[in-house]
Structures are given as C-alpha cells and as structure tokens.
Amino acid sequence: MPKVPLVKTITEPARDIKVCREADVVVVGGGPGGIGSAIAAARSGAKTVLIERYGHLGGMASGGLVNIFPNLSDISGKQHIFGLNQEIIDRLAARGGAFYPKKEHWGTTDRKIVDYYLNANMGNFYVRKDPNLGGQERVLYTAVVDPEMLKDELNDMVLEAGSDLLLHSWGTRPIMDGDTVKGVFFESKSGRQAILGKVVIDATGDGDIFVAAGAEFDSELSNKRRTAWLAFTFWMTNVDIKKYEDFRDSQPEKHAELTQEITKLGGYAHYIKGILDNQEGVLWYHSFQIQPESSDTHDVEELTRIDIRGRKRALITYEFLRKHVPGFEKCFIMQTAPQLGTQGGRRVIGEYILTDEDMETDEVHEDTIVVLANNDNGEISARHPTICIPYRCLVPVRVDGLLVACRAYSSTDSVSQYFNIIPPCIAYGQAAGTAAALAVDAGVQPRKVDYKALHDNLVKQGVNLPVG
Ligand SMILES: Cc1cc2nc3c(=O)[nH]c(=O)nc-3n(C[C@H](O)[C@H](O)[C@H](O)COP(=O)(O)OP(=O)(O)OC[C@H]3O[C@@H](n4cnc5c(N)ncnc54)[C@H](O)[C@@H]3O)c2cc1C
C-alpha cells in the first residue's frame, strides 16, 4: 500500500453569510476575460456584478505590465478582431494611450518599417515571416497600450455599461445547488459575503470557481510552452537608449561579453523598447522565471518563491546595467508589476475542446463567437490564416449556471497557448457576457442559449463573424 502523507486538518464551523448582492450575472475576475464579460452582460441588459481581487481592472494587461494586444490582424495585415477590443484601443488612442502601426502598414514588407519593430525588440509581436511570400517579413496589426490609462478606461467602461463593481474582493467558492452554480462567496476587508446570480462567469484566469464547482478540467502544462512560465515583469526608466544602442552597435564584442556576464549573475539581458509615444527612455523586461519543471501557479509557496527570486533578479539587472553599461548610468526601476505573471494552468473541459486539429481546418462552427488570426504556426498559418472559436469552448460539461471566459477556456495544452492571449480573452468575455444575458432573458441554462441569437447580438456589437 502506498503511504499517504498525513495532513493535519481542522473543521471550519458553519456560519451564516450575508448576501450583499443579487444579480443576473456575476463575473469573477476583472482581467481581459472579465471586463469583456461584465461590459457585454451589462450592455445586454443583465443586472451584472464584477468582482476583482486587486484594486484595478485589466489583469495581466495592466497589473502584469503585459500591455500588448497582438495578432489583431493575420499575416497579410487583414484585421479579424473587432468588437470590444477595437473599442478599448480606440478609446485609449483618443487620449494618447495606444500605439499601433498605421493601417496602411498592416501587412507591409517595407524593410524600414519592419526594421523599426525588430529594433524595438517587438518582432515577435509585430512581425511575421509569410511563407506565402517566400518567408518575407510582414508587419501585423498589434497595439500597445498605456497600462495606467487602461485601468482608468476600463473602470469607466464597466461602470458606464451599468455593471456593479467590487474591487479588493477575492472570489473563493461557488454557491452550489447540486451541479448548478447559484452565486459566489467572496472575501474582502468587509469579511466573507455572498453574491447570488443566475449565471456566474469564471474569468479568474486560473479557474478558481470552476474547480471548486466540481467541473472537469485539464491541467497538463508542458514546461516547453510559454504558458508554463511565470514572470516577474518590471520597467526600467531614464535610459539613454541612443547612447546604449551606439555602444551596442559600435562595440558588439564588449556588448556580447556584458550580456553573458549579466545572464550569468542571474540578471536579464532581454528587454522590449516601450514604443508608446509617451515612454521615451523606458524599457520593458518580461522576465520569465523558467523552472526545470512547470511551476504550479496555484501553489502559494511556489508563487512566494518565484516573487522573491524575480525581485532579486530585477535588482541584479538594475545594479549591473547602471554600473557597467553605457546609457544606463542614470536608470532606475520605474515599477515592478503588482501581479506576478501567470499565463497558463487549469483549463476547463468544455462541450468543445479546441485541439491542434482545429488549426488545420477552415471549419466555421454554427456557434462561432470570434474569428482569430492564426499567426504563429508557420506553414499551417499560411494554409489556414484564421480559426473559428466555438461558444462551446466556454461551456463546462455537466456543471450548469457557469461559463468560463478567460485563458482557462476549453483547449488542449498545445493549442491553448496560441489563443489565450489578451485580445481573444476579451472576445471570449464579450461572447460569454452576451450569452449569459440571453440565458437569463430566456430562462435557460447557458448551454441552451440560441446560437443564432448569440451570433446576431455579437454582430450588432461590431464583432466580426462569418455570415450566419
Ligand atoms: C510575462 C507575460 C507576457 C505576456 N505577454 C503577452 C502579450 O504581450 N500579449 C498578450 O496578449 N498576452 C500576453 N501574455 C498572456 C496574457 O497576459 C494572458 O493570457 C491574459 O491576460 C489572460 O487573460 P485572463 O482574463 O484570462 O486572465 P488574467 O489576465 O490573469 O486576469 C484574471 C483576473 O482575475 C483576477 N482574479 C484571479 N482570481 C481571482 C479570484 N479568485 N477572485 C477575484 N479575482 C480574481 C486577477 O486578479 C486578474 O485581474 C503574457 C503573459 C505573461 C505572464
């Protein structure tokens, strides 16, 4: 008999919990998936509450300092993602908080423009080789946004839509009636409270709610994929970038030597130039903490270790650069991300599981909720530049009263990484919020929502869908 380790336990006494809200739709998590869900549900007329554990909205897109909206177009430059994504970018652009290549440059092979983005170290976000053009590099429609403006704009958009908002509120458990979710318990400085809802949308990224609801999920995560890597992101400012680039270009051997040295010390050599117009002298460090084994993003002890190590390495980077590298003499760390970078983990088992095979077809599902550019799969992308995501990827099998609209959408480990980034998650949220409102209106479970009505409502909201 294998030995089962003894775990000491203690019984928590039962107690009455105050119901602080009764809503149609309760959204847990205010990242890309959550804000999409809350805005769409409220605009569709549902009484909506959004709860978020931190004091700001945006999730990784703001608090994780991961402020890049990539793959809005395919490799040819044709835009596919519209809807709320485009609305957020437009609102930010109107106040100088979004930057993207001019429309006439989407798909260009113009060397000068391609080189601009490669030089900003933003190649993997802005530039792709097009196998249909003999491997020539082309510029994509990708936007970068100011994370502070994003937080403010998202507050406005959620509240203008008519959604209720509770920040500093950590969703802990679903309220269950058999296999049906009826609301959530959450913790805050006001203590433990409950919100009742007809549909709950899990937008926690990590699937906190669906796991506790007993929904089936898949947590396979290969360490080879970026989805398994955690990150301690930070921004360095006051860098004389021109001086640094002159040094890099005029003394490549010395530069390579310093790069090796900083890496050996545990610092970070790789940066992204913050090409927002208002960010002269700022460099972004997306410093991945790659573990020999995948990190468990749900283990608080592992999160603590990674945070401590990430901070140490950020400081090593700063001290080394300031002391040894021309251009960095007056630099300092402008900010470290308030939330540790997590991007993978548990994925719900939904009524449809997206797999690698989906990238090899041009199938248009009856319940397509978004068409995404498929830019990261070389020859496959060339043959199939887009992929249709079905609504069923957001609907857990068996458990009712629940939708999942975040990076934990139903997919295999290998395919998840391509379509779990910010713009798709906003789009999943927009579809889930709309579907939840339709379900409440029709008095049916989310899995029974009329696909045609969902399609028509999304099209009315400016989402680009195949003709239904
Ligand atoms: C270093 C790094 C670089 C990346 N680069 C990019 C990039 O350039 N572009 C891109 O598109 N994607 C990028 N990604 C991936 C991207 O950030 C995520 O895939 C995306 O943010 C997922 O959105 P989400 O809404 O599913 O989850 P998240 O962004 O994680 O948002 C989840 C939200 O829910 C909240 N929450 C969690 N649990 C609870 C709870 N129990 N109760 C209440 N609130 C809760 C969180 O605080 C958070 O606000 C990167 C990720 C990392 C780590």
Domain ranges of the chain: 16-102+145-229+344-468, 235-336
Question: 199 and 395 in contact (C-beta within 8 Å)?
Answer: no
Q: What 3-state DSSP class applies to 40?
A: helix
Closest residue (by CA) to atom 41 of ligand 1? Answer: 171
Kindly report the CATH number that applies to the domain delimited by 16-102+145-229+344-468. Answer: 3.50.50.60
Tell me the C-alpha distance between 35 and 157, whole Å.
9
**For each of the chain's 468 residues, which pLDDT tens digit applies?**
566 677 899 999 999 999 999 999 999 999 999 999 999 999 999 999 999 999 999 999 999 999 999 999 999 999 999 999 999 999 999 999 999 999 999 999 999 999 999 988 887 899 999 999 999 999 999 999 999 999 999 999 999 999 999 999 999 999 999 999 999 999 999 999 999 999 999 999 999 999 999 999 999 888 888 888 889 999 999 999 999 999 999 999 999 999 999 999 999 999 998 888 888 999 999 988 877 666 788 899 989 999 999 999 999 999 999 999 999 999 999 999 999 998 888 999 999 999 999 999 999 999 999 999 999 988 899 899 999 999 999 999 999 999 999 999 999 999 999 999 999 999 999 999 999 999 999 999 999 999 999 999 999 999 999 986
Measured from the Cα of 339, ligand 1's closest atom is 47
What predicted TM-score, i.e. pTM, was given to this entire model? 0.97
Give me the DSSP letters along 98-155: EE---GGGTT---HHHHHHHHHTT-HHHHEEEEGGGTTEEEE---EEE-HHHHHHHHH
Determine the distance separating the centroid of ligand 1 and the alpha carbon of 325, expressed in angstroms. 33
- Point out the ligand 1 atom lying closest to the alpha carbon of residue 71: 11
Shortest-distance Cα residue to atom 34 of ligand 1: 29
Q: How far is the CA of 95 from the centre of ligand 1 (A)?
A: 24
CA of 254 to the centre of ligand 1 (A): 38
Determine the Cα–Cα distance for residues 28 and 49; give it in Å rounded to an integer. Answer: 9
Alpha helices, H only, 288-402: 300-324, 378-383
Ligand 1 atom closest to residue 230's alpha carbon, by position in its atom list: 53
Pocket perturbation via mutation, ligand 1, pick of 184, 291, 343, 393 by most ligand atoms within 8 A of CB: 343
Kindly state the tokens that stand for 412.
């295999």
CA–CA gap between residue 132 and residue 140 (Å, rounded): 15
Closest ligand 1 atom to 69 CA:
11
Instruction: Cite the DSSP H helix spans in 229-373.
Output: 241-250, 252-265, 300-324
Please name the helix (run of DSSP H) or strand (run of DSSP E) that holds residue 51, with its range, or none: strand 48-51
Return the ligand 1 atom nearest residue 287 CA: 1
Could you tell me the distance, in angstroms and rounded to a whole number, from the CA of residue 30 to the centre of ligand 1? 9
Ligand 1 centroid to Cα of residue 151, in Å, is: 14
Q: Write out the E strands in 262-382.
A: 272-273, 283-289, 332-336, 347-348, 368-373
What is the β-pairing status of strands 164-166 and 48-51?
A: parallel
Q: Which pLDDT does position 275 carry in this prediction?
A: 83
Pocket probe mutation, ligand 1, options 60, 313, 415, max atoms within 8 Å of Cβ = 60
310-322: b (≥16 Cβ within 10 Å) or e: beebbeebbebbb
Atom of ligand 1 nearest to the CA of 186: 42
Please check whether residue 183 is in contact with residue 196, taking contact to mean a CB–CB distance below 8 angstroms.
yes
Nearest residue (CA) to ligand 1, atom 19: 421
- Separation CA 71–CA 426 (nearest Å): 13
Pocket-forming residues, ligand 1, beta carbon under 6 Å: 28-34, 51-54, 59-61, 64, 66, 68-70, 125, 170-171, 203-206, 208, 231, 233, 286, 341-343, 406-407, 420-422, 425
CA of 427 to the centre of ligand 1 (A): 14
Polymer length in residues for the chain? 468
Give nearest CA residue, ligand 1 atom 16: 421
Q: Which residue has the least CA distance to atom 52 on ligand 1?
A: 341
